[in-house]
Amino acid sequence: MCPDCEDFARTVLLLGQLALYADTTGADLDFVDAVSPSLAASLPEPPTGEES
C-alpha cells in the first residue's frame, strides 16, 4: 500500500465513525463540532491510484 493510502483510509474511517457517533442518542455534539473540522483538515490528498 502506498504511504499516503493508509493515512487517507484511516482518516476517512475516523470521519465516518465520527458521523455515526453524531447520529447516536446522547452524542456529545460539542465534541463532534470541535473534532470534525480538525480531522477533516488533517485529511491527506487522495491517493493517485498508483500501485506500490
- Give me 2's grid cell: 502506498
Q: What pLDDT sits at residue 18?
A: 96
Nearest to 49 by CA among 12, 10, 2: 2
Instruction: Give the CA diameter of the chain.
Output: 43
pLDDT the model gives residue 20: 97
Contact 43, 12 (CB under 8 A): yes
pLDDT bucket at 49, cuts 50 / 70 / 90:
low
**pLDDT (tens digit, 9 = 90+) per residue, 4-46?**
788 888 889 999 999 999 999 999 999 999 999 999 898 877 7
Burial of 10 (0-12, 13-18, 19+ CB in 10 A): exposed
What is the reported pLDDT for 42? 87
pTM score: 0.75
Q: Where are the domains of the chain?
A: 3-41
